[in-house]
Structure 1
Amino acid sequence: MSLKRTPLRDFHAEHGARLVDFAGWEMPVQYRSILEEHKAVRHAAGLFDVSHMGEFEVQGPQARALLDHLVTNDVSKMSPGRVLYTPMCYERGTVIDDLLIYMRSEEDFLLCVNAGNIDKDLAWIRERAAAFGGTDSDHGAVSITDRSADTALLALQGPAAAAILQPLTAAPLDALRYYHFTTGQVAGIDCVISRTGYTGEDGFELYHASGAAVDLARALLDAGRPHGLELAGLGARDSLRLEAGYPLYGHEISDTISPLTGGLGWTVKLDKAADFIGRAALLVEKQQGSAQRLVFFKTGDRRIVRAEAPVFGAGEAGGAGAGAAGGESCGRGGAAVGRVASGTLSPILGEAIGTALVSAAAAASARSGTAPLWVDIRGTRLDLQLVKAPFVTLKKTS
């Protein structure tokens, strides 16, 4: 099966990108170096093509009510110009997807969903819209329109992002707060200008017509070169989001992991007025406690701890006296207490970092210092030093 392509596919090839299969899309994983692209975003700016993401319009008198029923966060408190991050859950409380909701007016919302979940999300939303007078026409109580093929999305991220973008637009960026958006032209191209991103840095996401993507990318790249702007691929995007402590669907949250288990309890508004899908299951989990916990860790070692690697408690496989990071080899017996969800090398810290889903008891013991968590890297024990996210100091705007 042939891979889908964003409007910038040839632009990426022209600039030396290494293209890979990502969720069925041919996407740039890196240009020159993941390390340098990552550092550029932390110290200057990076430009990402995220046009593979999906966009849906939800419109009509019942649009807000439908969305408040679908997601765990509180849509009723939104106002025009606001952006809301939220999971969307199954009845059992696990996550269908995590998405952004843009409120354009009382009856007009734009959703941004993950690329690999576009078809699943669209079917789920349309099925549940029927109870709210949903229709495919433009005149019903609520309509859902897939704009994914018509829309391209560029992310300009880093402390220099505003300085790069402002000369290209009349929109007053200083007045645009974090998780707010406006509309305007950028380099003569109509855009939704959103002060959001997936790196933990200040930055903007620019939604625009697919046919204008190449012109906009060239204009941003030209404007950004004096500021140290680098083209950045999916490799840096992943290491940046992990340093920032942001979840990735299929890793920290998924159709088997609830937002409470995945550390997103702040997005679950159990007391909001709308009775949302998954509320009953999440209320039980909140009252009884999650069986597993998501923990963030670093190792003091440069060897990457890969996703799905088993996580052990002290004494379970190598004896309580097994060596610390870089120490003696451990045994093979015993049962794991969880698994690694994500892992990478932090270019800023110079050591491996990651997340792990472990039993609630093991997480509590590790946090108290009574029973450290550890992994086996080719026969060598590496202790996991539990930390709070983010891993690095972030400079996003308030």
Structure 2
Amino acid sequence: MSAHFDAIVIGGGLVGLSIAYGLARAGLRVAVCDEGDQSFRASRGNFGLVWVQGKGVDAPAYARLTAQSARAWPAFAERLRGDSGIDPALAQPGGLSLCVDAGELAARAAAMARLAAHAPGFGYEVLDADGVRRRLPDAAPDLAGGIYSPLDGHVNPLRTLHALLAAFQARGGRYLPRRRVEEIRADGGGFTLDTGAGALRCGRLVLAAGLGNARLAPRVGLRAPVAPVRGQLMITERLPPFLPCPTPSVRQTDDGTVQIGDSQEPVGFDDGTRPDVLAGMARRAIRLFPRLRAARVVRAWGALRIMTPDGLPIYQESRRHPGAFVATCHSGVTLAAAHGEIVAPWIAGDAAPPFVEDFHAERFAP
């Protein structure tokens, strides 16, 4: 096949679909090229958090972007529901980072103070053990305390991905599955993409292919120095409600299951699991919530997340080939609202948002 679009987004995960949805809402004719389930989908390893705590402690631009996106999520979720008919199950009751000992609590409190200094309007509370138990009665009674942030929350990540795809298509977007992009050729009139099913043409191109961006970015004069970091996750059987707000490593989903996951392993392109890592995650979860000792785990899996050398996103338009953009981050849920509401309008032709200057790939040495 051969077809022409105003914009093509390479990557059908949370980042790519959030941007594609925003472009379609702006009135562009948009296609998404999705390599398929044989690729290393970072969305498989998403924990579902809309999370501000700890994001950008020493990176003010990232802290502000994260807080801005978290505030935009309620309106974004409502638009998704309206366009797709699917509820992403957003809940923002605040989030709690639990601390086992006094040293951990003091370190987190100091980090939050630095974060609040450059994230205007960001609020948080340092809770002692009694304060934690008032919010989470099922937490272990001997914890040192925790940090509560009212901006934090979570979604159902699978339902969010489904809603993004359905909303994108409802807005006229074209989804092209199993469409690996082998080559990109730029000319004065736009871009030609060679795929296994024919060539595609577009005036604007967005690289949102996760780990695939490292291969594709140089084709259009960009860089995407990303590497895989494996995360392992577990999900339990459905349990009666006991966890009214999420934590960074344990959250109860909207259907009652409990998701556990806080591992980070630089193991290359290995998305498997290791019993010792899973056992460590289970011990930590039980330490925080003793009632989980009796819960049955029904599934465990690994996934490769995308990480830049400094852990911050990359947003950049090519100077050599204007109209080609790269978008890479490891926080696809938290930043989904920003991708749809801020990044997409920029790609569609609006002025670049201020944070773009902070997230060029030129900050990394060649």
Q: For this structure pair, what is the TM-score category when the shorter chain's length is used for normalisation?
A: under 0.3
**Larger relative helix fraction:** 2
User: Is the strand fraction higher in 1 or 2?
Assistant: 1
TM-score by length of 2: 0.22
Highest Rg: 1 or 2?
1
Q: Which has the higher contact order (CA 8 A, sep 6+)?
A: 2
TM-score (norm 1): 0.21
